[in-house]
Chains A and B, each alone.
Chain A
């Protein structure tokens, strides 16, 4: 008290500045933000690659729009080694028409051309009829492979594999028909529009002899159309019901993907969630100790299964067994995929809801038992309601996992983008679409951007599910358990 501070060094309490310590500590502080930074980076970069879908083409691409037509055609013809010259021409015409005529006409001509193609195919407006055509034009197509290679091998005699030669002949005929159609259409639309230049360009495209000339004209008008109308018709395209990104007239309708993803996810939830929640109830309430101590590690073992193993099991073993039992037509379908997907989400739902159930205070249980309730009454009327927000969180997280699971969907759902409510038909999910198609797109392509857009959607979706769990469900759970 009497001592003056100057007489002896003051107690520093570790506040002495040490440069190295400070350096390392701030290093730790900075590095620990890596997960946060990663989230931001993922957000930024996935959206960055997806953004051209909304904001038109990037500058670099705009500069090269002039050659884009030719390059696209060349790329596609080079990647499709065995494409007949006929297809190339037809598609070029359709594309050229669209580019020339601005947005409305694109849709019209595309729709007509497509429809006619399909109707000549025997009047069936089914994707199935059209798919083999896509297969033939591009045999290296990854996402088609499961159908091509696996399904026919395993298929029961009920559904004979389509004869590729017949299909080729058929599609050649279709192509010839559609050439005529498109030629007629080109002339008609040209007349209707009274645009001589357009007619000339269209004819030259139909001949497909003088590509370069047509390209420059097309590119100019395309750019004008884009600048004036923006990408409004692209937005329409995104909610269309046809997903055909690898044809020369790419269609990015996401409806079949949405339906496919929802089908698989809901089937997996309907099968997996009740099982997992009941099992969690069993191990936390009813099971004798030995049963609990065997069941828990086994389910944790299931959590450690790589998804590719589950996908393999579903593809090779389960699909065959199910087809033998239920005798449906397509070996790989959303039902098989959904059940396989539930194997992946059962451990998640089980673990989280088990945690929620055991977190219910013992006082509640004891009170219930003391009032004369039996164990099942306590379980179903006291413990389960108290833990319901936790169980809800478990289901949401399971849903998120099933929504974004790639390998199982890629291997076991058949991967055909169909728009139908039948659960016994092949489907394609969002994640599987990315997994199957990303490997073979051209960087910076529209298809590439759309795939990134799908990825961004998956990211936003799981992110918001996580937010929901983090800020709403957890708080509710805490409130309930603390009796507020």
Chain B
């Protein structure tokens, strides 16, 4: 870059350049600090955890009062919970996204209300979802079902995997909505218009054009939702997660072990915290690996969606 400097302005130029360097240096340093934080967190967890990371650890039950053994029930519990959760969150989120982008007028009161609700839902603290799950699903719906079906017996009116995954489904609903909506925007408008012009009804257009065109977005939403569901602990603290439960959940009414909750339990409430520190590291490492894998695949999928959006 050519330097234009006029006589008598060298000092000012120097000052300006100094300021410029300081400014970019300070902001670059801030970015570096954040990157360092990420690197330190990841590396300390992986260094502490890789030694125990064996096949046995992944496939065994916790033994000796959770001071030895593996995390198999926690992994399975997490998987079942997140799958149940996505069965609920993904269709609902997709439907909402379709409504927002295809049915509602962008500035209608309905659309704005729903959009605001989605934003709010995304920012409510997760512990409030836990309270809601307890107050609504367990105490209201579950107890109500018990009163009707099996009076006097407590079947549904207590924390279980169904209520936990429904609570988590509400929590992850905004994630799905946002990514599906983004994907629907990548479907070329011409295609939709052409379909409508050929006489297809709105529903046919949605089924044959919009949903196939935004499948990757739906998938991204599902992956992100699963990643979030695998990591969140607060909503399931009192809606279904079990402290220790060696067998895997066999019915919707059974409780389950969860990786994140297992970390919390091991690191703060186990009988012998010192002895379980290697286990804690490895469990954390497994959870991190799981969420990383999910997040990275979501990022790859999403970047494909975004490049499509740019092309469109």
* B299 CB contacts on chain A under 8 angstroms: 297, 300
Q: Is B248's beta carbon under 8 Å from chain A?
A: no
* Pairwise interchain contact B268-A411, C-beta atoms closer than 8 A: yes
Q: Is A257's beta carbon under 8 Å from chain B?
A: no
Q: Is A470's beta carbon under 8 Å from chain B?
A: yes
* B177 CB contacts on chain A under 8 angstroms: 35
* Pairwise interchain contact A41-B136, C-beta atoms closer than 8 A: yes
In the complex, what's the smallest C-beta–C-beta distance from B135 to chain A, in angstroms? 4
Binary per-residue interface labels of chain A (450-462) against chain B in the complex, 1 for a CB within 8 Å, 0 otherwise = 0110010011001
Known: A31-B95, A286-B24, A305-B291. A146 touches B41 (CB 8 A): no
Q: Is B127's beta carbon under 8 Å from chain A?
A: yes
Which residues of chain B from 292 to 308 have a CB within 8 Å of any chain A CB?
Answer: 292, 295, 299
Q: Is B23's beta carbon under 8 Å from chain A?
A: yes
Binary per-residue interface labels of chain A (409-431) against chain B in the complex, 1 for a CB within 8 Å, 0 otherwise = 01100000000000000000001
- Does more than half of chain A's interface fall in helix, strand or loop, or is it mixed? helix
Which residues of chain A from 375 to 422 have a CB within 8 Å of any chain B CB?
Answer: 375-377, 379-380, 397, 400-401, 403-407, 410-411
* Pairwise interchain contact A304-B41, C-beta atoms closer than 8 A: no
Q: Output the nearest chain B residue to A380 by Cβ-Cβ distance.
A: B23
In the complex, what's the smallest C-beta–C-beta distance from A416 to chain B, in angstroms? 14
Q: Output the nearest chain B residue to A37 by Cβ-Cβ distance.
A: B117
Binary per-residue interface labels of chain B (10-46) against chain A in the complex, 1 for a CB within 8 Å, 0 otherwise = 0000001101101110111111011101100100110
In the complex, what's the smallest C-beta–C-beta distance from B126 to chain A, in angstroms? 6
Number of interface residues of B (CB under 8 A): 89
* Pairwise interchain contact B95-A298, C-beta atoms closer than 8 A: no
Which residues of chain A from 437 to 484 have a CB within 8 Å of any chain B CB?
Answer: 438-439, 443, 451-452, 455, 458-459, 462-463, 465-466, 470
B26, B123, B201: the one contacting A400 at CB < 8 Å is B123
Known: A439-B237, A470-B119. A404 touches B124 (CB 8 A): yes
Q: Is A309's beta carbon under 8 Å from chain B?
A: yes
Number of interface residues of A (CB under 8 A): 96
Stretch at the interface among A157-165, A173-181, A276-284: A276-284
In the complex, what's the smallest C-beta–C-beta distance from B265 to chain A, in angstroms? 10
* Pairwise interchain contact B234-A299, C-beta atoms closer than 8 A: no
Q: Output the nearest chain A residue to B173 by Cβ-Cβ distance.
A: A35
Q: Is B134's beta carbon under 8 Å from chain A?
A: yes
* Pairwise interchain contact B274-A153, C-beta atoms closer than 8 A: yes
Known: A14-B199, A406-B125, A455-B128. A306 touches B264 (CB 8 A): no
Stretch at the interface among A42-50, A55-63, A97-105, A235-243: A42-50
* Pairwise interchain contact A276-B34, C-beta atoms closer than 8 A: yes
| Cα distance, A41 to B34, chains bound together (Å) | 38
Q: Is A204's beta carbon under 8 Å from chain B?
A: no
* Pairwise interchain contact A407-B131, C-beta atoms closer than 8 A: no
* Pairwise interchain contact A434-B267, C-beta atoms closer than 8 A: no
Q: Is B288's beta carbon under 8 Å from chain A?
A: yes
Binary per-residue interface labels of chain A (285-307) against chain B in the complex, 1 for a CB within 8 Å, 0 otherwise = 11100010011011111101111
A21, A28, A294, A452: the one contacting B131 at CB < 8 Å is A452
A48, A310, A315, A407: the one contacting B234 at CB < 8 Å is A407
Q: Is A274's beta carbon under 8 Å from chain B?
A: yes
Stretch at the interface among B53-61, B64-72, B97-105, B211-219: B97-105
* B267 CB contacts on chain A under 8 angstroms: 150, 312, 315-316, 411
* Pairwise interchain contact A38-B33, C-beta atoms closer than 8 A: no
| Cα distance, A318 to B170, chains bound together (Å) | 33
Q: Is A275's beta carbon under 8 Å from chain B?
A: yes
| Cα distance, A275 to B120, chains bound together (Å) | 26
10 nearest interchain CB pairs?
Answer: A404-B125, A306-B231, A278-B30, A32-B99, A376-B23, A282-B27, A279-B31, A406-B234, A286-B24, A455-B131
Write 13 A-B pairs (CB below 8 A) sorted by A numbering. A28-B103, A35-B117, A41-B136, A150-B273, A301-B38, A308-B231, A406-B126, A407-B234, A407-B264, A435-B130, A451-B131, A459-B124, A459-B125
**Residues in chain B within 8 A of chain A (CB atoms):** 16-17, 19-20, 22-24, 26-31, 33-35, 37-38, 41, 44-45, 48, 92, 95-96, 98-100, 103, 113-114, 116-121, 123-132, 134-136, 139-140, 170, 173-174, 177, 196, 199, 201-203, 227, 230-234, 237-238, 260-261, 263-264, 267-270, 273-274, 277, 280-281, 284, 287-288, 291-292, 295, 299
